[in-house]
Chain A
Amino acid sequence: MRHALCAAALAGFIACAATAAGKPADQAAPLGKRLFDYHCASCHGTGIGNPGAAMKPGTDALRVKYGGELPALLSERTDLTPETVAYFVRNGVSVMAPYRKTEIDDAQLAALGTWLSRNNPDLKRR
């Protein structure tokens, strides 16, 4: 429990810091980016898939799902919020299994959410 509380506090700190404009967000973003590269980019990044597939599976799945209305690459989305990111990380979707807390803890999840929603204009205004 104590761990969960610490993580929540830290997550809150990162979220607040990120919305406080400028530097702190930059500090938080690289951790989120590093986590994205480590955990997500192998499915949701750029690059080719197995023979016959022009894209990685997560990128292709979102390309087909949104039919061009939203970017296929998660890192280029402007509509994501930390809550959406957290939902998909903890619940999974389709063939993507959820991530456990020993893989991505709550503080890391917040950092990931912050980075993936860095281009969301609504959050900047919030």
Chain B
Amino acid sequence: MPLPPNVSAAQWQEALAAFRAAIGEAWVYTSDEDAGLYRDAYSPVWGEEEERLVSAALAPRTVEEVQAIVRTASRFGIPLFPISTGKNLGYGGSAPNLSGSVIVDLKRMNRVLEVDDRRHFAICEPGVSYFDLYRHIRERNLNVWIDVPDPGWGSVMGNALDHGVGHTWYSYRDHFLSHCGLEVVLPNGELLRTGMGALPGAGTFGDFRYGFGPYVDGLFAQAGFGIVTKMGIHLMPRPEAFLHRRVLVPRRQDIIPLVDIANALEDAGLIGMPLYESPMFHAQFADPALRAIAHAPDVWNGNAIDRYAAEKGMAPWQLGLSFYGPEPVIEASWQHARAKFEKAIPGVRFDDVETLRFPLDEAGEEAVQHKVLTGIPNMNIFAIGARSQTNPEPADGHLLFSPMIARSGEEVLKAQRIFTEGMQDMGVDYPDAYGPFTAPFTWMPRIFALTTGMPVSRTDPAVNKASRETMRKLIELGARHGYGEYRTPPLFQDQVMGTYSFNGNALRRFCETLKDAVDPKGIIAPGRGGFWPRSMRKEG
């Protein structure tokens, strides 16, 4: 493992001795075997010079230990990189922006400090996973739900701090939006509490996020301004029932009214996360005729797709609608929604997918079809990359490209074409490559993510080279059309930040000014978010 940059071997030994004294010898990992576990398992530069490696990992148990680590690091000029559970796979895993950084692994700080099921919030330490918080709530039969991302093993905090997302109501599934109050160890080792945490004795840390003065919480997400050690998060009260209903439309252009109606329903608080899919996406791998349609240059006029849809009775688009609440109320909401779609889209069809009443027992939970829609953490999403009948030779992971596009059907059709033709020009084709059946993800409220994944390999550098070159070109292509990524692995953060370039990169320059003031030595995650302190900035 490399040494931290600009630190001599003697200084390094001295620093390690100080870290050991602060947190205990057992929790300082320096061997290749132990520190190697912090490599990004989905790294697109695995084993290559560009791979971001760590010099060591430290696993503190208390806030005081985190402070001691930061002070020691500051004394020696050692860059730290905090992780909560370090499962940021596809977006960088647990690896830092700067090789030689020391990982601060907060997994051992794993207490659920409070769950209030009358005011509906939780306060957690970094190492609390979605599985942990869920179990905590279930064991106490508390009257709240959590909102979960697809993989349940990640942390409530780490996910929120990378602007992670889930699957229920808009106000809960944007996890940074739903966080409320932070406790942060600053680069000088000082402890800060934001929001009501700043008012001694307030008791409303998890209720009211603003407190008084500027709202600084945003600085601690996707950035290196501090190590967060506590976070409040708003929870939703457990609903009485859940309905999942599906809307199927007969024509490609129907995506336009479909999105307009779903937007109106969601923004009025009548539905949870709209779930767009194209049944033709999977069907194209089973039917060469459909695959040929998808690859034909004139596919974009929609005629061949519409003909195929009519012949086979297969919808080009479907939309899953989630309703949460008292049964008569959500049944009425569904009827209202149904009438809207019927009026706007000739030939629209509907499916009753699932109706659930809560609480469920364990067997009932296990039988829930799409668990994340009801806040049940699980790992089923890994089926998309794991070995299966249709994917007998799986990759070792994937690199995620997540451009954000405006929430309209027209924009979906436009962006699909831009990215599909762009990938064709690049000469790349993956099973998940863009095409006319790529559906928008709605995890983040009020915007669509047109996310795709490119394979990575721990044995074949050629696969990685192709994926990262494609990624770089996609970032550039997207930016040319006004599409920016909402998160990206460290390897691409400088490039992505560079695309947010209004007024001579005023945003990046402002972040640099703040970084220079708060963390001039680059002690906390230098480079995170695509900006660096002056001492580490590359000219130009």
Report how far A103 CA is from B378 CA in the complex, Å.
17
Q: A50-B370, A60-B388, A64-B392 are in contact. Are A100 and B383 (CB under 8 A)?
A: no
Q: A64-B389, A95-B396, A97-B89 are in contact. Are A58 and B37 (CB under 8 A)?
A: no
Give the number of chain A interface residues (Cβ < 8 Å).
Answer: 34
In the complex, residue of chain B having the shortest beta-carbon distance to the beta carbon of A3: B26
Q: How many A-B residue pairs have CB under 8 A?
A: 106
- B211 interface hit (Cβ, 8 Å): no
Q: A97-B42, A102-B105 are in contact. Are A58 and B366 (CB under 8 A)?
A: no
- B335 interface hit (Cβ, 8 Å): no
Minimum CB–CB distance for B151 against chain A, Å: 9
- A121 interface hit (Cβ, 8 Å): no
Minimum CB–CB distance for A17 against chain B, Å: 23
Further pairs besides A56-B379, A64-B392, A94-B397: 16, Cβ < 8 Å: A3-B24, A6-B26, A42-B131, A42-B152, A50-B371, A50-B381, A50-B383, A53-B380, A57-B379, A61-B388, A62-B387, A94-B394, A95-B394, A96-B382, A99-B37, A100-B86
Most B C-beta atoms less than 10 A away, residue of A50, A58, A100: A100
Q: Would you give the 0/1 interface string for B3-43, flagging 1 where the beta carbon is closer than 8 Å to chain A?
A: 00000000000000000000011110100011001100110
Q: Would you give the 0/1 interface string for A82-126, flagging 1 where the beta carbon is closer than 8 Å to chain B?
A: 000000001010111111111100000000000000000000000
In the complex, residue of chain B having the shortest beta-carbon distance to the beta carbon of A1: B25
- Name the one of B26, B394, B395 contacting A2, with C-beta atoms under 8 angstroms: B26
Which residues of A sit under 8 angstroms from B381, Cβ to Cβ?
Answer: 50, 57
Point out residues on B near A: beta carbons under 8 Å: 24-27, 29, 33-34, 37-38, 41-42, 57, 59, 86-87, 89, 93-94, 105, 107-108, 127, 131, 152-153, 366-367, 369-371, 377-383, 385-389, 392, 394-398
Point out residues on A near B: beta carbons under 8 Å: 1-4, 6, 38, 42-43, 47-51, 53, 56-58, 60-62, 64-65, 90, 92, 94-103
- Name the one of B37, B153, B387 contacting A90, with C-beta atoms under 8 angstroms: B37
Report how far A84 CA is from B105 CA in the complex, Å.
26
CB distance A100 to B38 under 8 Å?
Answer: yes
Which residues of A sit under 8 angstroms from B89, Cβ to Cβ?
Answer: 97
In the complex, residue of chain A having the shortest beta-carbon distance to the beta carbon of B354: A51
- Name the one of A6, A38, A95, A102 contacting B59, with C-beta atoms under 8 angstroms: A102
Which residues of B sit under 8 angstroms from A48, Cβ to Cβ?
Answer: 366-367, 369
CB distance A50 to B25 under 8 Å?
Answer: no
Minimum CB–CB distance for A86 against chain B, Å: 12
Report how far A57 CA is from B369 CA in the complex, Å.
15
In the complex, residue of chain A having the shortest beta-carbon distance to the beta carbon of B38: A100
In the complex, residue of chain A having the shortest beta-carbon distance to the beta carbon of B93: A97
Report how far A43 CA is from B37 CA in the complex, Å.
20
Report how far A38 CA is from B135 CA in the complex, Å.
11
Report how far A3 CA is from B58 CA in the complex, Å.
13
Minimum CB–CB distance for A35 against chain B, Å: 13
Q: A42-B152, A97-B42 are in contact. Are A4 and B26 (CB under 8 A)?
A: yes
Which residues of A sit under 8 angstroms from B38, Cβ to Cβ?
Answer: 100
Q: A42-B378, A95-B395 are in contact. Are A60 and B26 (CB under 8 A)?
A: no
Which residues of B sit under 8 angstroms from A97, Cβ to Cβ?
Answer: 41-42, 87, 89, 93, 397
11 contacts between A and B (CB under 8 A): A3-B24, A4-B26, A42-B379, A49-B383, A50-B383, A51-B369, A60-B386, A60-B387, A94-B395, A97-B89, A97-B397
